[in-house]
Amino acid sequence: MSDISKIVLAYSGGLDTTAILKWLQETYQCEVVTFTADLGDGDDYSPVRQKALNSGASEVFIDDLREEFVKDFVFPMFRCNTIYEGEYLLGTSIARPLIAKRLIEISNETGADAIAHGATGKGNDQVRFELGAYALRPDIKVVSPWREWDLTSRESLMSFCEKHQIPVDRKHEGNKSPYSMDANLLHISYEGGILEDPNSEPEESMWLWSNSPESAPDAATYIELGYANGDVVAIDGKTMTPAEVLTYLNKVGGENGIGRVDIVENRYVGMKARGCYETPGGTILLKGHRAIESITLDRELAHLKDDLMPRYATLIYNGYWWSPERRAMQALIDNSQQHVNGVVRLKLYKGNVILVGRESVQDSLYDGNIVTFEDDAGAYDQKDAAGFIQLNALRLKVESKKGRKF
């Protein structure tokens, strides 16, 4: 007899998690509560509740988390100009701590003693879900069916569904995308299928959110991003909520062929994996944020943030959002943003995000009187540079006089 009496399952409504729901009931002889997160993937979740109840769920939670996702997770990440291994904007990674948080909240609300997820034993998501869960509730039990059950093939999974009278839409299954996909307001990802050969070019039909650069409009689109404390709060002068900002940028970015990447990344579990991502809004956010920081942020503070960013990105990628080191870094990052205010103008054209202007009336550190090539009226004494150079060259001179070779 299992010592688990109630499990909260992260439930998508798809075939795999519906099979997992039945498997949990059969294996652990317990109640199963389902939780579905609406993070802005555009799906219609109205059938999910009934499907979960028909499959034996004792209670169903379907939560619209779009605003919380962007406000409390995506925007804080972009304040650090975060990018993993030079290209990945962490669209899947940054969603997992929010899902883990809500799983634990529901487990507390319903008196559940365990949670379950549908992540496989080969990927990063199992790590992200479980590290987050343990950080927020150390005594929680975690059930990972893909690490426990013997349904290791599509055929065995189908047999299990047939045995338990789980409806399988054979027509839909036959027309199903060959890719494993994950979507939210920040991105959509593609893995598997022909992408498992890193030398195979993705089919154009794979991309769902963006035009190809070749088919994007021939006329550029101009947009103006308004910043307050490092976050976009308005577009073209119109105030927007965080989720509205990202929704709009995804639309206009996708139309202009922006945000496609194809990378081979290093998973935390040790293997290399090829993934393709569409992140149109995030690509625009990254360009715009670096632009507004360029005129409002002190040099050494900006460079400190650049030094921290790869480590911060790795923490998020590996599942350590709730760790003390990430929270400490976030405090520094957020403090750095108090003067990151102003407006950035961008041109979107055939896959490119082109900066055309940046302005901060109150907080700009750019002083045209100092930097001008014309008469600066004594704002900068060029003779001072001689002593500056001599002092900074001193250690190089000493080393050279000692005969040290380079």
Domain limit, last residue, from 114, 149, 176 = 176
Residue 308 lies in a domain: no
Residues 121 and 217 in one domain: no
304 lies in a domain?
Answer: no
Residue of 58, 72, 137, 180 marked active site: 180
Is residue 396 domain-resident?
yes
Same domain, 16 and 139: yes
Clarify whether residues 240 and 171 are in a common domain: no
In a domain, 319, yes or no: no
- For 183, 184, 206, 208, 278, the CA distances from 41, given in Å and listed in that order, are 5, 4, 16, 12, 12
Say if 307 falls within a structural domain: no
Question: Do both 283 and 390 map to the same domain?
Answer: no
**Are residues 142 and 260 located together in one domain of the fold?**
no
Residues 207-231 have pLDDT tens digits of 999 999 999 999 999 999 999 999 9
From the candidates 79, 125, 182, 360, give the one annotated as an active-site residue: 125
Same domain, 155 and 206: no
Region for 68 from its dihedrals, namely left if φ exceeds 0, alpha if ψ lies in -120 to 50, beta otherwise? alpha
In a domain, 406, yes or no: no
Domain span at residue 144? 6-69+92-176
The question of whether 96 is a catalytic residue gets the answer: yes
Strand 31-38 relative to strand 141-143: parallel, antiparallel, unpaired? unpaired
**Is position 52 within any domain?**
yes
- Same-domain status, 161 and 217: no
Which residues does the chain have with pLDDT short of 70?
Answer: 1, 154, 168-177
Residue 325 lies in a domain: no
123 and 200 belong to one structural domain: no
Active site residue 64: no
Query: What pLDDT shows up at residue 176?
Result: 59
Catalytic entry in 79, 96, 128, 358: 96
Q: Which of 142, 346, 147, 163 is nearest to 248 (CA)?
A: 346
Same domain, 148 and 196: no
Active site residue 375: no
- What separation in angstroms does the CA of 345 have from each of 74, 257, 288? 21, 18, 8
What is the pLDDT, as a whole number, of residue 152?
75
Q: Residue 16 catalytic?
A: yes
- Identify the domain boundary among 176, 211, 228: 176
Same domain, 126 and 101: yes
Q: How many domains does the chain have?
A: 3
Instruction: Indicate which CATH number applies to the domain containing 35.
Output: 3.40.50.620
Q: What is the pLDDT of residue 169?
A: 59
Same domain, 378 and 273: no
